[in-house]
Amino acid sequence: MAAQLQHLGYEDEKLQRVMERLPCRDVQASMLLALMGEQCSYPSIFIYGHRATGKSHVIHTLLKELELPYATVSCVECVSVGLLFEQVLLSLFGSDSASLLSRSPSLSDFVRVYKQLCVQASAKQTRYIVLDRAELLRDMEANLLPAFLRLQELVEDNVTVILLSEIVWDKFRPNTGCFEPLLLHFPDYSKGELQQILSEDSHPSYSPELYSAFINILLGVFYSVCRDLRELRHLAALHFSKFVEPLEQGKESDTHKLWRNIEPHLKKAMQTVYLREVSSVQWEQQLQMEEKEAGVVRGLSAHAHVELPYYSKFLLIAAYLASYNPARTDKRFFLKHHGKIKKTNFLKKHEKTSNHLLGPKPFPLDRLLAIFYSVVDSRVAPTASVFCQISSLVTLQLLNQVGHDDQLDAPKYKCAVSLDFILTISRCVYPMLYCPLVTDWNHCQTPASAAL
Amino acid sequence: MSKRKVKETHMPVGECISQVQMILRERFCHQRLPEKPVGMESQHKHLLELLRRTAVHGESNSVLIVGPRGSGKTMLLNCVLRELLEVKDVNKNVLPVHLNGLLQTDDRIALKEITRQLNLENVVGDKVFGSFAENLAFLLEALKKGDRSSSRPVLFILDEFDLFAHHKNQTLLYNLLDVSQSAQAPVAVIGLTCRLDVLELLEKRVKSRFSHRQIHLLSSLSFIQYLDNVRSQLSLPQDFPDTKFYDEWNDSIKTLCEDQLVVDVLQSHYNSSKDFRSLQLLLMLALSRVSASKPAIKPTDLLEASRVCMVDSKANILHGLSILELCLIIAMKHLNDIYEGEPFNFQMVHNEFKKFLQRKSHSIHNFDKPVVIKAFEHLQQLELIKSMDSSTAKIQKEYQLMKLLLDHSQIMEALQKYPQCPTDVKQWAMSAFG
């Protein structure tokens, strides 16, 4: 590796140090160094790859350790183009250069100021401009991306623009084309490489083998779902203390038993911390409490702890029934004496696909009230308080209003909650599960309707 | 006349390689102008003649150079300008003004730039004073005051000409072309654009003032000329200090260009695009593998460079997905096959995935719905699936209609290369009906 890059004129020990900080990324780093070269490089390089594959890390390590002149900007931070220009000029030319730009500079101003500053401080080496999260450049002004790709030509200076992104280049190309950059791919880490990298931050008081065994277990649970290095590191950091708890308490020391201890926690983590339903702080507290004391984890999107008034629950159940049952079946479900229904061709052709797959359908207010009155178990007068609750359900976004706000006489609604939520509500309302919920004529019968 | 013995200088290999890298990189990366452009002799002659008439004889002209990206428009123009400016009188008199459609996005900015470059009197240091109307009036007056014999010819070079046609009222274009038509200060308007239909973009009054002179650069190199171009691009110039190395290098390049493997690689590149820029990209990638320990370009270098250029980026991204996300993509592929490309929503994909889990799978764990939703959203962030409607109607995210942006063959190819793909997943992908 070092022999290959010797001609570039960097010191061997610097290169060695750089390579140590970039595990499993030697091939990409040496390819980048070879492309950057000694004197000048291609005007623009586009590096793409999944999240946490080390794109920014490799670039920044190379540029910093080898002390090359560079400017790095994350496009997420640049709400306006002026911020982007200012950052670039500040990093490349020093702190008083950005003041030469006007209030809200255009690209023309930026190029002009850059040319001026170049004249005063000509480049002995290639300057690098690194744009992170470059996919956001597409949403800024239309001329920004093509101009940055050919910045070398426009400012007549030895500068290379490096774009880092998660999204492939084919999605970036403007309509009439642009200067095609050099494409470089950072492949994802394999399972072995992930193991190697994660094992590097082992705790100093435990042996590396123990930590490797722990990482192995973690990967076994999470690898099929998530291959993002950052997430796995976060999960490893959260769970290691729980893993070694039996060791500290002196109870177990066999890896197999330690695994049995930690596995249910990891599985539970997949439902909560991995989904960011609970914060890491909550999770750590959870892990420290004894199992008997631990209550149910209150997640962010757990609807189950939303408290609704009595009639609102019925209204919501009625809304769900109205959304997912076709209107013709109301008579059968909700009237005590319904007429005969022909068996053949009962379901129209378009209803054959389960309503569960297509989503809720809109229904008028009258239908909602009709179902409500038949579902609720006591006599309810149509007072304003009932109607008010419908509006509050809309505000809580448990119902969606379809159509224009102006339609006062016949507003239409759609139910916006899932079956699980309705089942949770109906469990408090009906002691036994008696809801004539949606029946799926073809395949999966919902558990509630099976209880009919 | 005594014959001077040429002293042969020998440099160490490392230094030679640095020199070689510098020379070749100047050619590929900094677009250093060649001695004369390849394959465009008639266009070169035509443009040179046109500009000479403006610069020397004071005749106003307008011309458009049209050609696809990377076909050498800027290279042609710069070669012509270089030759033109070699004439002593021309060099002193001609005023070039360079505008670029990407930078000057507005007529106001363009006008300020022209005023600045021509160094008119309302420029102090760097700042241009006056409003847009005042600047325009001043410029036009300055241009109209002269006549053929006494004023300096101005060359307006408009890069990305089609972008100027999108400005409001096309004021700038109208005025420039107007000046070039009337018998005043000699002005040449040269536009470079990649759009073949650029004349459709011009308004009627602008189009009528344009001379309708177009120079097309549709690259017409034959494959033999292309190979010659490759050889000349990779060869070192005569004035290389170390003659021994120079001979060795040029010989190696000659044998390289005769190697069958290399000819095949170049043929496939030639078949997909003949333009100079993609060739320079390929050669740059091959050049980056040259080092002191390997001081020549081998056929494998070019092969490897070609492979890097022609790779499918989406396949690379698919390689890095987790197994759950891959299963979701296969489920979407099946839905596309059954429903012939109709949009789907998350519920349908989840349903399909659950059917697979119930019937055929042994290795995939039954994940909770929120975990599957997170995988689905990751695919959305990678822009492998896209939402169909961006309407403001609130639809729950499980029911929003989506479209898969991958092709059937891409998915099947990615599956073959996926590391440690479980066999039941592969079989599910290849079966006809989920």
DSSP H/E element including A360: none
Distance CA A187, CA A257 (A): 36
3-state secondary structure A74-132: ECCCCCCHHHHHHHHHHHHHCCCCHHHCCCCCCHHHHHHHHHHHHHHCCCCCCEEEEEE
Phi, psi of A22 (to 5 degrees): -120, 75
Q: A405-409, B42-46, B75-79, B261-265: lowest mean pLDDT where?
A: A405-409
Distance CA B179, CA A342 (A): 84
- Give which of A166, A126, A112 is closest to A44, Cα–Cα: A126
Alpha carbons within 13 angstroms on the beta-carbon side of residue A226 total 25
Whether pLDDT at A447 is above 50: no
- The residues near A53 (Cβ < 8 Å, ≥ 6 apart) are A186, A187, A188, A189, A229, B320
Contact B162 A39 (CB under 8 A): no
Contact A275 B371 (CB under 8 A): yes
Q: Does B413 touch chain A (CB under 8 A)?
A: no
* Partner residue opposite A40 with nearest CB, options B26, B100, B281: B26
* Partner residue opposite B69 with nearest CB, options A7, A177, A183: A177
Distance CA A126, CA A38 (A): 8
Buried b (16+ CB within 10 A) or exposed e, B393-408: eebbebbbbbebebee
Q: pLDDT exceeding 70 applies to what percent of chain B?
A: 94
3-state secondary structure A11-69: CHHHHHHHHHHCCCCHHHHHHHHHHHCCCCCCCEEEEECCCCCCHHHHHHHHHHHCCCC
Section B152-156 average pLDDT: 88
Say if residues A74 and A62 touch (Cβ distance below 8 Å). no
Say if residues B229 and B221 touch (Cβ distance below 8 Å). yes
Q: pLDDT exceeding 90 applies to what percent of chain B?
A: 41
Give contacts of A 196-225 with B, CB under 8 A.
223-225
Contact B103 A40 (CB under 8 A): no
Query: From B110, which residue of chain A is nearest by alpha-carbon distance?
Result: A108
DSSP H/E element including A449: helix A447-450
Contact B375 A225 (CB under 8 A): yes
Section B210-230 average pLDDT: 89
User: What are the angstrom distances between the C-alpha of A15 and each of A19, A33, A38, A449, B212?
Assistant: 6, 10, 14, 68, 58
Whether pLDDT at B289 is above 80: yes
What does the pLDDT read at residue B1? 46
Torsion angle of the four alpha carbons A336, A337, A343, A344, in this order, in degrees rounded to the nearest 10? -100
Say if residues B277 and B47 touch (Cβ distance below 8 Å). no
Which one has a higher pLDDT value, A164 or B27? A164
What does the pLDDT read at residue A417? 87
Q: Does B357 touch chain A (CB under 8 A)?
A: no
Through-space distance between the first and last CA atoms of chain B, rounded to whole angstroms: 90
Give the model's confidence band at A433: pLDDT under 50 very low, under 70 low, under 90 confident, else very high: very low
Kindly report, residue by residue over B346-402, the tens digit of the pLDDT. 999 999 999 999 887 778 888 888 899 999 999 999 999 999 876 656 778 888 899
Contact B383 A171 (CB under 8 A): yes
DSSP 3-state assignment of A233? Answer: helix
Q: Does B298 touch chain A (CB under 8 A)?
A: no
Contact B371 A177 (CB under 8 A): no
Distance CA B5, CA A405 (A): 96
Contact B288 A31 (CB under 8 A): yes
User: What are the angstrom distances between the C-alpha of A367 and each of A316, A321, B185?
Assistant: 13, 10, 80
Q: Does A127 touch chain B (CB under 8 A)?
A: no
What does the pLDDT read at residue B34? 79
Q: Which two tokens stand for residue A179?
A: 């200067």
Q: Does A146 touch chain B (CB under 8 A)?
A: yes
Contact B371 A225 (CB under 8 A): yes
* Partner residue opposite A359 with nearest CB, options B21, B294, B345: B345
What does the pLDDT read at residue B262? 92
Give contacts of B 51-90 with A, CB under 8 A.
68-70, 74
Whether pLDDT at A65 is above 50: yes
Give contacts of B 120-179 with A, CB under 8 A.
126, 162-163
Kindly report, residue by residue over A7-53, the tens digit of the pLDDT. 567 788 888 888 888 888 989 998 999 898 888 889 999 999 999 99
CA distance A351 to chain B (A): 15
What does the pLDDT read at residue A349? 53
Q: How many CB atoms lie within 10 A of CB B99?
A: 23
CA distance B100 to chain A (A): 9
Q: Does A188 touch chain B (CB under 8 A)?
A: yes
CA distance B1 to chain A (A): 42
CA distance A15 to chain B (A): 16
Q: Does B372 touch chain A (CB under 8 A)?
A: no
Phi, psi of B62 (to 5 degrees): -140, 140
3-state secondary structure B203-261: CHHHHHHCCCCEEECCCCCCHHHHHHHHHHHHCCCCCCCCHHHHHHHHHHHHHHHHCHH
Q: How many CB atoms lie within 10 A of CB B233?
A: 17
pTM of structure? 0.89
Q: pLDDT exceeding 70 applies to what percent of chain A?
A: 85
A365 class by beta-carbon count within 10 Å (0-12 exposed, 13-18 middle, 19+ buried): middle
* Partner residue opposite A400 with nearest CB, options B311, B313, B394: B394
DSSP secondary structure letter of residue A189: P
Contact A39 B22 (CB under 8 A): yes
Contact A48 B323 (CB under 8 A): no
* Partner residue opposite A182 with nearest CB, options B281, B319, B375: B281
Whether pLDDT at B198 is above 90: yes
Buried b (16+ CB within 10 A) or exposed e, A232-259: bbebbebbbebbbbbeeeeeeeeeeebb
Distance CA A32, CA A377 (A): 73
Contact B322 A358 (CB under 8 A): no
Query: From B365, which residue of chain A is nearest by alpha-carbon distance?
Result: A224
Q: Which residues of A touch B14 (CB under 8 A)?
A: 6-7
| ipTM at complex level | 0.92
User: What are the angstrom distances between the C-alpha of A183 and each of A139, A151, A157, A447, B124?
Assistant: 21, 17, 22, 53, 44
Q: Which two tokens stand for residue B319?
A: 């390689």
- The residues near A353 (Cβ < 8 Å, ≥ 6 apart) are none
What does the pLDDT read at residue A161? 96
Kindly report, residue by residue over B35-56, the tens digit of the pLDDT. 777 888 899 999 999 998 888 8
Contact B25 A37 (CB under 8 A): yes
What does the mean pLDDT of chain B come to? 87
Give the model's confidence band at B144: pLDDT under 50 very low, under 70 low, under 90 confident, else very high: confident
Whether pLDDT at A230 is above 70: yes
DSSP A296-351: ----SS-GGG----HHHHHHHHHHHHHHHS-GGGHHHHH-SS-----STT-S-GGG
- The residues near B30 (Cβ < 8 Å, ≥ 6 apart) are A40, A152, A158
Report the residue of A27, A113, A116, A225 to disrupt the B interface, i.e. the one with the largest count of B CBs within 10 Å: A225
Section A412-429 average pLDDT: 83
Section A65-73 average pLDDT: 91
Q: Does A178 touch chain B (CB under 8 A)?
A: yes
Contact A116 B126 (CB under 8 A): yes
Q: A21-25, A321-325, B86-90, B189-193: lowest mean pLDDT where?
A: B86-90
Give the model's confidence band at A297: pLDDT under 50 very low, under 70 low, under 90 confident, else very high: low
CA distance B223 to chain A (A): 23
Residue type, B349: V
DSSP H/E element including A180: none
Q: pLDDT exceeding 90 applies to what percent of chain A?
A: 28
Distance CA B252, CA B247 (A): 9
- Give which of A420, A320, A407, A410 is closest to A371, Cα–Cα: A320
Give contacts of A 49-78 with B, CB under 8 A.
49-50, 53
Give contacts of A 257-276 with B, CB under 8 A.
270-271, 274-275
Give contacts of A 75-104 with B, CB under 8 A.
none
Whether pLDDT at B105 is above 50: yes
Distance CA B287, CA B21 (A): 8
Q: Which residues of A touch B109 (CB under 8 A)?
A: 106, 108
Phi, psi of A346 (to 5 degrees): -65, -40
Q: Measured in whole angstroms, how far is the alpha carbon of residue B189 from the centre of its chain?
A: 24
Contact A35 B316 (CB under 8 A): no
Q: How many Cβ pairs within 8 Å bridge chains A and B?
A: 182
Contact A107 B102 (CB under 8 A): yes
Contact A40 B14 (CB under 8 A): no
User: What are the angstrom distances between the C-alpha of B153 and each of A436, B165, B180?
Assistant: 88, 24, 11
B238 class by beta-carbon count within 10 Å (0-12 exposed, 13-18 middle, 19+ buried): exposed
Kindly report, residue by residue over B299-345, the tens digit of the pLDDT. 998 999 999 999 989 999 999 999 999 999 999 999 999 988 889 99
Say if residues A360 and A414 touch (Cβ distance below 8 Å). yes
